[in-house]
Amino acid sequence: MAAARPAGRGAEAARPCPRASPRSPVPPRRPGGVRARLCARRGGRLGPRCSAEMEGRSSGEAAPDEAVGDADARRVAQEQARVAKLTEVQQGDRELREELQKAKDDYKVATGAISSLQRQLEIQESQLRRTKSEKEMLQKKLRERENQLQAMSTKFCSLREEQKHKDMMVTMERENCSLRQVVTEQESKLAEQNKLISELQGTVSQLQAEVLTSRYHIHKQQRAQETIQSQAETLQHRELQTRVALECISSRFERYRSKIIQATFSTAGSKPPQAEVTDEEVLEAMQKIINERMEFHQMLKQKGVKVPSLYSIDTSASSPTSAKGRRKSPAR
């Protein structure tokens, strides 16, 4: 009769909890919970072995919770650092793009200025050619006038009318002076135009040098932008890997939490949760179990039952639990 009764309760404990959390399926109860309930109901007739197993399981389940919390905190900090670095790289990329657009605008302005200066240079060259042709025509006219003057002077030499000859000479000299003045003015204009042409040529050479410098800077900025884009792609790939790892850790944490909830609420006298259980409720249930265990141990001492101290039970139960954790760790 005594052996059949625990087997029936173990079969009832193997059934899944119908009101578990909807977020993750609750695995079936382990036989350890049934043994702990039997130990609590039968008043410790199984001896200190039940107490040692209960204390070993509670201590073995609390240690990985702290390790998982520390690992989550480190991974969240690493992810935040990677996100901040990615934001900084994107800001640098935007600044480089703005500088590249500014350099392109400057290049367009310089190209327009060079084309306008080239048009002005062509106009000045055409004016210079026209001035040179006018100068040659005036020199030709001057030579013709001088020849005419010479011919007229030779003619008038034979004439006796000196007054007429003088009048003609005065007139020719006036015309020659006017022609010389015109030639002088044209020569001064030609010198000014030559000076302006030399200044324009210097400006064109300077603008060409600036255009070459701008092209070099644009090429350099394009190379830097390509390097930054490759780094951004690498960071995005790492971010994706980090998110996948974080999701995997979150799922493992949820499974571990469901196991803790199942072990906590599967003890004798605890009510199964009606809705989703918070972390504070789980801690309160575990603290209640620990307090009941302490009260049960104190009650046994008061009744005169020889039981080992809780510290010695913890020490003896922690070694097989830790060995079991080491054996299960490679399977993860």
Enter the pTM of the model: 0.29
Kindly state the average pLDDT of the residues 81-89: 90
Q: Residue 294 CA to chain centroid, in angstroms?
A: 56
More reliable by pLDDT, 152 or 214: 214
Residue with tokens 């399977």: 331
Give per-residue pLDDT as tens, 301-311: 888 777 777 66
Residue 321 burial (CB count, 10 A) = 19
What is the predicted pLDDT for the residue at 117?
92
pLDDT digit string, tens, across residues 155-202:
767 767 777 777 888 888 899 999 999 999 999 999 999 999 999 999
The candidate with the shortest Cα–Cα distance to 58, out of 270, 289, 282, is 289
* Per-residue pLDDT band at 247 (split at 50, 70, 90): very high
Mean pLDDT, residues 213-240: 93
Residue 296 near residue 40 (C-beta atoms within 8 A): yes
